[in-house]
Chains A and B, each alone.
Chain A
Amino acid sequence: MENLIGLLVAVPLLGAALLLCGGRRLDGKGHYIGTVLAAASFVIGAVLFADMLGRGEHDRALHSKVFSWIPVGGFRADVAFQLDQLSMTFVLLITGVGTLIHIYSIGYMEHDERRRRFFGYLNLFLAAMLLLVLADNYLLLYVGWEGVGLASYLLIGFWQHKPSAATAAKKAFIVNRVGDVGLSIAIMLMFTTFGTFTFAPVLTNADHASEGKLTAIGLMLLLAACGKSAQVPLQSWLGDAMEGPTPVSALIHAATMVTAGVYLITRSGAIFNAAPDAQAAVVTVGAVTLLFGAIVGCAKDDIKKALAGSTMSQIGYMILAAGLGPIGYVFAIMHLVTHGFFKAGLFLGAGSVMHAMNDEVDMRKYGGLRKYMPVTFVTFGLGYLAIIGFPGLSGFWSKDKIIEAAFAKGGTEGWILGGAALLGAAITAYYMTRVMLLTFFGEKRWGTTPSPEEPSAEPAAESAGAHTEPHPHESPSSMTIPMIVLAVGSVFAGGLFSVNDAFLKWLEPVTGHSHGDSPLSAAAVTAGTMVVLAIGVALAWAQYGRRPVPRTAPRGSLLTRAARRDLLQDDFNHVALVKPGQYLTRGLVYVDHKLVDGVVNGTAASVGGLSGRLRKLQNGYARTYAVSMFGGTAVLIAATLLMRAV
């Protein structure tokens, strides 16, 4: 069984190698190879899962060492895998959702001539992500961490002919790099503190280290998590990352990669448990991000960017839960899994809509699509109900628990966090209802605008742009089937997990769990959630359902305008980081020109001048050289005699 773990990573890696190195002869069947290998990986994961279920609760972790990677003195890094319940959860999520999205991509990318390469990148992503969650030490995790970063970069910039996509890819890569620095520093700190970076010894010895060091490690891990999971203050890349193909947004930027930060914090739970300051930072980041993302999501007219804001917000929930310590770890992961289902489903639905609407992303140009795309409407609607936490659906089970856990934190802190989580739930209900109403309800707002370039043109110009008029249609079955599967997951996963607290019992041996003493009863929290939910939905209905939606966005309030610009995050980065950086580099260039170059050029000039004079000795006459030899011999004799005399 242990050997299968390595295979789990190797299969998609083989796929990536085949597809990326195979060349054009695989163009015709590349997408099948990629999909079959992803599915094979899922099958292996399922076999391992079945095997794991067959063993006792505390006997489930598997360990498999493949080879010694860097054995240098006391520094040992192995390529070794650890498969416990936490990793298993991720493996099933990654391979399961990954396979569905592979299938979806067959249809979605049908007309792209670089489809083979796309599937190669997807397989590469799967391999790296599996490596990340299966690694038994932080260094190997770091390899996977960088691998998913690379895959994310390649896939965001997949349509590299678009400057916006290329820029977005670079932005994602660079912002992630800041987080990666945090992870590498954390690993170095771990090595100096514990002398190793394998999970087991680090986490069991975490109690013995000084709290200052643990806080430092925790903060660095948090920085890494912020970069990868798009949390404040490293959140700015996620919105732009929507430039990538929609399956990529669904798989990487909604379901799996962006949740790596949650995995990292949950996995390092022992460190955070022993460092309350770091935990406080984590919950702060989570709470701020969940509101930040939700507000951004309210203002965006681009369907994918609205969903990206939502993703940010939902991951904020997870980070918040993970920061709560043992009260929240399980719920963070549970929300992660359910979110993986419904958010992937929502993105696939958005992709399906875009597919039907000639890649139009502005929701103000949708409207009334429920009649044209029934399957998409139903699956998207189920995802919508799940994410807002409609009772009985997945999101209800997981999000409710997080809100409950936030209150259970206790004291003023608990009230603040709980309040923030509740407010987030209300905003979530608002913006998701808005998306739903703008896209599927109301009168159709497409087809009467001549072209996207002239959004304010009069309907009189209708005939001129007739050829660009979209004809909404249902997507092919390769796209609808994954959506249906994910919708089923969105509906039932949460409930399934909550039967008998199955998920809690499943994860508890790894993450541990404790019940906080909540000031509110579970019923009260649920009731409160329902109330804010209703308020959010009602608000959205009042604003977008009752009256016609203007085709061009109104100017809006100050907050709306700020939120449209991602709450000024890019402006902030520009002023706080880019400008000072530019001044610094300019200063350095000046120093380089004047000082460094001066020294270098001065040295060169003096050497040149000296050589110019010394060159005169080389006059080309053999006899001059003979004289110098003659004199040299005389000096040698003198030296010999002197040595003898001394």
Chain B
Amino acid sequence: MNPVNYLYLAALLFTIGAAGVVIRRNAIVLFMCVELMLNACNLAFVTFSRLHGNLDGQIIAFFTMVVAAAEVVVGLAIIVTIFRSRHSASVDDASLMKL
């Protein structure tokens, strides 16, 4: 088997995650889908690292994880705040930006 298959898997997971972002309304699930996409990217980076024979890809994946952690912290804080004020975690309810 060629390790390129990992890349196909990553592409598939990324697409699934993106589709999830688009079709789900629950902000928490939406966030999980974003995490899924980030993980797919990480898998791709790790595979690239192996293909190229150096560790830079793994470093990038490592940084991605850190940034994802930061993002999750802030994102969930926002969700909690919104839920507290609107009693709903649906992203469709937060649609005040239209006329």
Q: Which residues of A contact B (CB under 8 A)?
A: 615, 618-623, 626-627, 630
Considering only residues 1-29 of chain B, those with a C-beta below 8 Å from chain A are 18, 21-23, 25
A627 to B98, CA, bound (A): 17
Q: Within 8 Å of chain A (Cβ to Cβ): is B91?
A: yes
CB-based contact B99/A622 at 8 Å: no
CB-based contact A630/B22 at 8 Å: yes
CB-based contact A630/B95 at 8 Å: no
**21 pairs from A and B in contact (CB 8 Å cutoff):** A615-B99, A618-B97, A618-B99, A619-B95, A619-B98, A620-B95, A620-B97, A620-B98, A621-B91, A621-B92, A621-B95, A622-B91, A622-B92, A622-B94, A623-B21, A623-B22, A623-B91, A623-B92, A627-B22, A630-B21, A630-B22
Write the nearest CB–CB distance from A246 to chain B, whole angstroms. 69
* Chain B interface helix/strand/loop/mixed: loop
* Chain A interface helix/strand/loop/mixed: helix
Write the nearest CB–CB distance from B10 to chain A, whole angstroms. 14
CB-based contact B95/A626 at 8 Å: no
Q: Within 8 Å of chain A (Cβ to Cβ): is B96?
A: yes
In the bound complex, residues from chain A placing their C-beta under 8 Å from that of B96 are 620
Write the nearest CB–CB distance from B71 to chain A, whole angstroms. 16
In the bound complex, residues from chain B placing their C-beta under 8 Å from that of A619 are 95, 98
CB-based contact B98/A623 at 8 Å: no
Task: State the interface size on chain B (CB cutoff 8 A).
Answer: 13
Q: A615-B99, A622-B95, A627-B22 are in contact. List 4 more A-B contacts (CB 8 A).
A: A618-B97, A618-B99, A622-B94, A623-B92
A622 to B95, CA, bound (A): 7
Q: Which residues of B contact A (CB under 8 A)?
A: 18, 21-23, 25, 91-92, 94-99
A619 to B25, CA, bound (A): 15
In the bound complex, residues from chain A placing their C-beta under 8 Å from that of B95 are 619-622
Write the nearest CB–CB distance from A189 to chain B, whole angstroms. 60
Write the nearest CB–CB distance from A613 to chain B, whole angstroms. 13
* 6 cross-chain pairs, A with B, having the tightest CB-CB distances, nearest first: A620-B98, A620-B95, A620-B97, A622-B91, A627-B22, A621-B95
A622 to B34, CA, bound (A): 14
Write the nearest CB–CB distance from A615 to chain B, whole angstroms. 7
CB-based contact A626/B98 at 8 Å: no
CB-based contact B22/A626 at 8 Å: yes
Known: A623-B25, A630-B22. A618 touches B98 (CB 8 A): yes
In the bound complex, residues from chain A placing their C-beta under 8 Å from that of B94 are 622
Write the nearest CB–CB distance from A514 to chain B, whole angstroms. 86
In the bound complex, residues from chain B placing their C-beta under 8 Å from that of A615 are 99
A626 to B22, CA, bound (A): 6
A626 to B91, CA, bound (A): 12
A149 to B22, CA, bound (A): 74
In the bound complex, residues from chain B placing their C-beta under 8 Å from that of A618 are 97-99
In the bound complex, residues from chain A placing their C-beta under 8 Å from that of B99 are 615, 618
Most A CB contacts (10 A, CB to CB) among B22, B25, B97 go to B22
A346 to B51, CA, bound (A): 109
In the bound complex, residues from chain A placing their C-beta under 8 Å from that of B23 are 623
